[in-house]
Structure 1
Amino acid sequence: MDQNYFIEAIPNVNENNRLREPQVDAYKAVYDHLTIQRSKEHAIVVLPTGVGKTGVMGLIPYGNSLGRVLIITPQLVIKDAVLDSLDPEHPKNFWMARNIFSKFNELPSVIEYSSATSNWVLDAANIVILNVHKLQERLEKALIKRVPQDYFDLIIIDEAHHSTAPTWENTLEYFSSAKVVKLTGTPFRSDGEIIEGKYVYKYPLSKAMAKGYIKSLERVKYIPDALYLTLDRNDDILYSIDQIREMGLKEDEWISRSVAYSKECSLKVVLESVGILRSKRETGIPHKIIAVACSIYHAEQIQALYEETGMKVATIHSKLPKDKLAAGLNAIENHKVEVVIHVAKLGEGYDHKYLSVAAIFRPFRSRLPYEQFIGRVLRAIDADEVVSVEDNIAAVVHHVELGLEELWEFYKKEQEKSDVIKFIERGGSKLEGGNVTERIINKETGHVQEDGQGEFVSDSFINTELMKERERRLVEEREKLQKLKELLPDYPDDVLLQMVRRQEEGTAAEKILRPDKFISRKKRNLDDRIKDEMVPELIIKYNIDKEATDLGKSRLFQGKYAWIPVRVSNNAGMLASYLEFRVNEEVGNKSRPTWGPEEYAAALDQVEGIYAIMIQIIESELGGK
């Protein structure tokens, strides 16, 4: 193995239009944290499912690792997905597909670790990928029993919300001198434990929706006209849902579990999800349903209901033998089935972009597993493949009595923020499609009986100042180069200089060599903070109609700001204009084309204070949602 590979290799990152904005920005945030700031604290990166997390793992080692890299995944399905993307022998591996490198001999050597991996194969690898179970100390050939503590310079942990478990902690303690980067789409744990480290980069789900990196969402719930349950399956007395709650006969958890196991209620969800799927498939794209069941027995019941409609089904669960699991996964990838039913197997890390209908047949008691399941339908279908806007709107179908309202609220708000972002980007024009919608479904363990027809309800949701700046940055570059020379005395100057020049926001090189790009990026950061975060947050939190004009009466737009509601035709635009105008005032220079780095740095600082005051004013006038 070439110990210097990740330092000496020059990947195409900064100006690469084949990479997504969050991939580049996440990489640079990690580079700033680990290499420029030399922080020993674990770096945490939060990226929604479908944005390109595996690609970020493929970028992070460059410029950050002084040796071998270990990538740890929490389960085999995720490990296989990561290995598939980062397999240098595959012609469509991430580095070649995204134009990071143009020649195969420029790629790193990658291996999957197993007990059969020989020492010479292990020593030849730049990147070692394994499932966390291969690290367990009780195993005779566990990795940590075979290699010294300084064997890895950098450890990347996928799905980092698992990383507080003992096996993970023992591994990090053993390789304590290694730098650590943790990636996750769900930066919290059901048990409330804190993920150790510093959040160096977060990309909002709402922005990923607005940019089209992931699918938008539609929630479809079934609401029966009337629903009756027995208190146990042998009881002949029927009680309505309202009676059970008012009389305190059973808890909501019992009701939702009864509904989950009711064949009658499940059939309603099955039929609606199949109808949605058939409509989507009219475009010729092989959309699929992914369904989640309570147990293997329950999954077999659901499978029978789908098969009665003529659907071909693959049921995936942890008890399947390896050959049957592989056959099931192949059937999904090769479009041999229309429905995938899973039990605690494909909840995270499994990516198949044609999963477009999420059918829920079980209650979820916490946010983490619910979000992991919804994440399976979020991966967007490529723009050059879609036929209709509907192809990138995923549907979530369930019975109203599964008790999922509170969990859905997170996605509803993120989609609403996404709509605001798109509304602002289109200059206040009315949006077409892509909204989160909400439709209505009915269910049973007492026995469940439905009366009436019920209904489905949808819920949608550059100049002389820059030359001076260049000279100043040249001095900074020399200083940083000197520090790196002290840290890495055996490396040639040109290699060290390239390390300095990899960073965007914090590097001398980007600011020196492309001052025009530097300023445009600073402007983008300010615009994004205002239009993609602050304005959507205000509109959603205070239930403001983005297209209306009633906000013009607010105290915000009195006195010298009274011109804003006169010139701007909607509430979203008024809020954005107010923030931009106030920032210009505070910086003391109203002509942004003349702004340099100092002005933009001041603006990013000032906008936070202005935003805090806006919240106070709007709170006093409108109150919270």
Structure 2
Amino acid sequence: MDETAGKYSDVYGSWQQHLFNFNLANRETCMPGLRKPQLAALYSSLGHLVMSPSSTATVVMPTGTGKTDTILGLLIAGRLARTLVLVPSDALRSQLVKKCDLKKLREIGAVSETALNPVVMAVRTGMSIEEVQQFSEANVIVATPQALQRFTTDALQALADLCSHLIIDEAHHVAAKTWERVKSAFKQKPRLQFTATPFREDNQALDGTIIYNYPLKDAQNDGYFKAIEFHPVREYNLVLADQAVADKAVELLRSDREQGFDHLLMVRARSQKRAEVLFDMYKKHEDLTPILIHSKVPGRAKLMDDIVEKKHKIIVCVDMLGEGFDLPELKIAAIHDQHRSPAVTLQFIGRLTRVDQALGDAKFVSNIANQNTDYQMAALYKESADWSAIIRDVSNDKIEREIKKEAFNGQFLNDPDSDEILGLNPNPKISAIAFHVDLDKWQPKKARHFSQKKEQLQFLSINDEQDTVIMVTRRDTPVGWAQTSAIVDTTWLLYLAYYHKNDQTLFIHSSGDETQSARFLGLIAKDARRITGEPAFRTLHNIKLLKLQNVGLSRVRKDLRFTMHVGRDVNAVINEIQNGTAKKSNIFATGFENGQRITVGCSHKGKIWEMNSESIIYWIQWCKQVSLKLNNASIKSSDVLKDVMRSDKIEGMWPKGIFYVDWPETIAIENEQKILLSYNAEVFNLLDIMLGRPLRTDDLTLSVPVIAAAPDGNRYLPDITIRLLDDGYKVSCPGVKIIFAEEKALEHYLDAEPLVFLAVDGSLVEGNYRSYAPNSLDLKLPTALIESWNWGTTPIHSESMKAARNLETVQGFTFSKIQNDYSFIFNDDGAGEVADLVAIRESTDAIYVDLYHCKYCPKKDGVARPGARVEDVYEVCGQASRSVKWLHTHEKFFDRLMLRYQQSLSNNFQRILKGTPEDLELLRNKCHDHEMIFKFVIVQPAISAAKISAEQLAVLGTSYSYIKSVSSADVKVITSP
């Protein structure tokens, strides 16, 4: 029988008469048939179409297990009337159209001659409603997201109305916004997604219940993937790293070809510029005919044809060769720039591991000394990494997360509403009102009775296992500018309830008003006792450097019942709160808890919040943490405000004793790595910039030195000067620009976002205001934290070991003194340092990091004498205070050390004093499941323990108090006797 397609009706009629053959292939008997994952995916999909046709379903099949033929098999076996298949690229569209000849399915006997080939049509960009009607002649319609983006809403709906089913191939590539639009049009139609990686590249949730997941481990065990060989090179010198990878990759290619394998080498680069640089390395191997290809190379189509014909044995490209590109001979990959995305990594590896008996195993080459991936992907780049096992585990872990998320969602009652609500990806503001409710009075199912005339219940889902209720309502109200019922304002409202059984505490969240929340509460809980008054303010407990951003007060005066205080006048009312002349109505504050910057709000009426919107899962975790404080009777709210920061306006002159400066609070360590400063055509990463000790040049002027680290030495940028005005301040830093989202003059940026200064008395200076906590002013360092060393003949006026490793220095003596106490010691001395010495030791479950900040003793009259000079502690205390920001950065901390190590090699500066680069890599990988415990050690032999002055103890005490408040880490000070 002729296998070409007939008319739509003839094809669909033939499918109705056809009996699909579900035989499983047997390799031992050579009996043809479906692969195991294909058969299982078909059964799961057909079952879903019978049982839950209106919900979205996801099928997970690794690359190379026959996903496309499974989709085609489903068309015939399911007798689908007219299906829109959405694919992410033109290449995949062409591939799918080609495979619609059903050749493979016929070869294995799944489809017989009874079934005609489908009539296939492709969607063009921006078609009209009339043009869409032509698809009535097609059994299969193939489209790309790009083509559908330019459809009008009516044209897209016309296409959806015409189709019976929607299938999305490579679903993780379809952007959430595009998917939502298509999904909305196909709301009443069956929707199936096929993917190898059920997590989006745009970090948005991938809708749909996973109805079938074929684990990568099974694909490997069942022989659908060739083994993966990893051939690491280890080159820490960044100048030599690419050549080392290239040499190894070419060596493997030549070896495979000598053994008779017709293998090709793919060289991956992250950008066109990088690809051109790498091509210069490979083009010398003329007998292997290297080729460079990317989107801007002339004659790209002809080059692609030449590649398919295997005229080029080395292919240098950006990322991969396009979706749908299938060349089995690509068996060796040189990864010069690692993928950060697990999804892309899995797909990339899948390209090279497909089974072909005429070819050998897949081989990957990469530099394991230059990791730049998340900790899961970093496991690939270890010395003896088993890529087959790691890729399997990473894939399973990622998919497991999606399944766990679904498990949470699936704990809600199995009704249409749960799918609708969770499909909206709720992202509520993090806020709640808390109530004490007896367990037998918690009645979540009564939320179904919420509807009333003006507000109708639209969606409701109840998670019995998590004691959570999610509800969406629609409220119609008359418009304020007309007396008519013809038009109304429509508002959609979200309600959440979470019952924490351990404390018998119920949390209620509503995007509506108090009356609506009360109605919701009255339905789901009886005899609820609202947590109000002083217990609500317990949420401020244990927050360090607590700054009140705004305070509302209730007063007893007849003429003044309530006042609101915002910003700088907050401190004026703190005394009123403490002496009882005013009562707290509401407080919003910022500060640090467990070393993390947080926001917290609380009111006398019991509302609790933070300045954040997050997922429902996050909201539930937040409620659990808040519950611990609310129900802790040992917390006295009167004590909470004892250490709150006050603010005073600075007038007339800058405060004396300012010794430390750091970037504005808005620049966290995560941002610092992305921010640049430019000056005189040179660009520097902010992490390579050191702010020197602030100088008070006159009463109204502060000056801050700016030093930038460059490969050939330090650069001294113009000082940042801050001029105090009558009611404000003005920054000057001529010629320096900051590049962060956009480029602007640094002085203009700092006018809006002030630098943070620390003064000797413990106060913070930002802009023209001074902030302080009364109980933390003028604290002295506890003498128990001081340890004196006998420096012997060490010239303590000499500070740094430098590349020569001069032990006759303060830093060198310190290294000699501590080297037996640690397994790894790093010399990070220089502009942009974390500390002069980073010393690390491990236990079974923790990594201990001690940061040593060393300073020299200056000579006077040719002699370096320890004493009581306060100026000797300013700079080293500033350095210690500044390094606090590295806490809680985990792998970024180790990334920074590795980068500094690599950059210094070209200058013959070996920064690792004890241990190996491999140790540093191992620590980086361990930091995710080991606690990191920091300690700060100030080393200043200029201080005499016997003569230490009150002024020195004050500066040291300020640095100590700041470090403890922000990080809770220990501090120690090393001095001379």
Compute the TM-score of the two structures, normalised by the length of structure 2.
0.36
Q: How does 1:503-522 map to 2 (within 5 A)?
A: none
Q: 1:30 to 1:339 in 2, by over 3 A?
A: same
Report the equivalent of 1:415. Answer: 388
Work out the CA distance in 2 between the residues paired with 1:370 and 1:419.
12
Q: 1:207 to 1:166 in 2, by over 3 A?
A: same
**Higher normalized contact order (CA 8 Å, seq sep 6+, divided by chain length):** 1
Q: 1:122 to 1:402 in 2, by over 3 A?
A: farther
Whether 1:308 and 2:322 are equivalent positions in the alignment is no
Report the equivalent of 2:786. Answer: none
Give CA deviations for 1:19-64 in whole Å, capped at 9, x if unaligned: 21111111111011112x2442212111111111111111122343
Report the AA paired with residue 306 of structure 1. Answer: Y
| Displacement after TM superposition at 1:114 (Å) | 2.9
Q: How does 1:267-306 map to 2 (within 5 A)?
A: 267-306=243-282
Give CA deviations for 1:134-193 in whole Å, capped at 9, x if unaligned: 1113x58x9945944321111111111133521222112112222111111112234543
Work out the CA distance in 2 between the residues paired with 1:414 and 1:27.
30
Pairing partner for 1:44 from 46, 58, 77 = 58
Q: 1:447 to 1:82 in 2, by over 3 A?
A: farther
Report the equivalent of 1:399. Answer: 367
Q: 1:159 to 1:143 in 2, by over 3 A?
A: farther
Computed over aligned residues only, the root mean square deviation of the Cα atoms, in angstroms, reads 3.5
Report the equivalent of 2:314. Answer: 339
Report the equivalent of 1:166. Answer: 177
Pairing partner for 2:148 from 118, 135, 151 = 135
Q: 1:30 to 1:326 in 2, by over 3 A?
A: same
Give CA deviations for 1:59-84 in whole Å, capped at 9, x if unaligned: 12234354101111112232233233
Pairing partner for 2:189 from 172, 178, 192 = 178
Among the aligned pairs, what percent are the same residue? 27
Whether 1:28 and 2:43 are equivalent positions in the alignment is yes
Work out the CA distance in 2 between the residues paired with 1:66 and 1:326.
36
| SS at 1:11 equivalent | coil
Report the equivalent of 1:70. Answer: 84
Work out the CA distance in 1 between the residues paired with 2:378 and 2:251.
22
Pairing partner for 1:196 from 195, 207, 218 = 207
| Displacement after TM superposition at 1:418 (Å) | 11
Q: 1:195 to 1:145 in 2, by over 3 A?
A: closer
| Displacement after TM superposition at 1:348 (Å) | 4.9
Give CA deviations for 1:97-148 in whole Å, capped at 9, x if unaligned: 33333438622222333359976863221111222211113x58x9945944
Report the AA paired with residue 351 of structure 1. Answer: D
Report the AA paired with residue 60 of structure 1. Answer: L
Work out the CA distance in 2 between the residues paired with 1:319 and 1:448.
36
Work out the CA distance in 1 between the residues paired with 2:40 and 2:380.
25
Work out the CA distance in 1 between the residues paired with 2:94 and 2:291.
19
Instruction: Give yes or no for contact 1:55–1:94 (8 Å, CA) kept in 2.
Output: yes
Give CA deviations for 1:550-608 in whole Å, capped at 9, x if unaligned: xxxxxxxxxxxxxxxxxxxxxxxxxxxxxxxxxxxxxxxxxxxxxxxxxxxxxxxxxxx
Give CA deviations for 1:217-244 in whole Å, capped at 9, x if unaligned: 11111113xx45xxxxxxxxxxxxxxxx
Whether 1:79 and 2:93 are equivalent positions in the alignment is yes
Work out the CA distance in 2 between the residues paired with 1:161 and 1:447.
41
Work out the CA distance in 1 between the residues paired with 2:387 and 2:13.
43
Report the equivalent of 2:538. Answer: none
**Number of equivalenced pairs:** 381
Unaligned runs of 5+ in 1: 229-258, 421-441, 452-456, 458-625
Give CA deviations for 1:407-459 in whole Å, capped at 9, x if unaligned: 15379677349999xxxxxxxxxxxxxxxxxxxxx9999697499xxxxx9xx
Pairing partner for 2:198 from 179, 182, 187 = 187
Pairing partner for 1:352 from 308, 320, 327 = 327
Instruction: Give yes or no for contact 2:165–2:190 (8 Å, CA) kept in 1.
Output: yes
Report the equivalent of 2:787. Answer: none
Which of 127-136 and 347-356 deviates more? Answer: 347-356
| SS at 1:402 equivalent | coil
Instruction: Give yes or no for contact 1:312–1:339 (8 Å, CA) kept in 2.
Output: yes
Report the equivalent of 1:368. Answer: 343
Instruction: Give yes or no for contact 1:48–1:185 (8 Å, CA) kept in 2.
Output: yes
Compute the TM-score of the two structures, normalised by the length of structure 1.
0.55
Report the equivalent of 2:139. Answer: 126
Instruction: Give yes or no for contact 1:6–1:67 (8 Å, CA) kept in 2.
Output: no
Whether 1:58 and 2:31 are equivalent positions in the alignment is no
Q: 1:304 to 1:64 in 2, by over 3 A?
A: same
Report the equivalent of 1:12. Answer: 21
Q: How does 1:112-261 map to 2 (within 5 A)?
A: 112-114=122-124, 122-137=135-150, 144-145=155-156, 147-224=158-235, 227-228=236-237, 259=238
Q: 1:366 to 1:272 in 2, by over 3 A?
A: same
| Displacement after TM superposition at 1:320 (Å) | 4.5
Unaligned runs of 5+ in 2: 1-7, 26-31, 394-897, 909-917, 919-977
Work out the CA distance in 1 between the residues paired with 2:198 and 2:368.
28
| Displacement after TM superposition at 1:87 (Å) | 3.8
| Displacement after TM superposition at 1:343 (Å) | 1.5
Structure in which a larger fraction of residues adopt helix: 1
Work out the CA distance in 1 between the residues paired with 2:279 and 2:391.
35
Q: 1:288 to 1:41 in 2, by over 3 A?
A: same
Q: How does 1:560-579 map to 2 (within 5 A)?
A: none
Pairing partner for 1:317 from 285, 294, 300 = 294
Instruction: Give yes or no for contact 1:290–1:355 (8 Å, CA) kept in 2.
Output: yes
Instruction: Give yes or no for contact 2:54–2:187 (8 Å, CA) kept in 1.
Output: no
| SS at 1:379 equivalent | coil
Q: 1:65 to 1:402 in 2, by over 3 A?
A: farther
Report the AA paired with residue 364 of structure 2. Answer: V
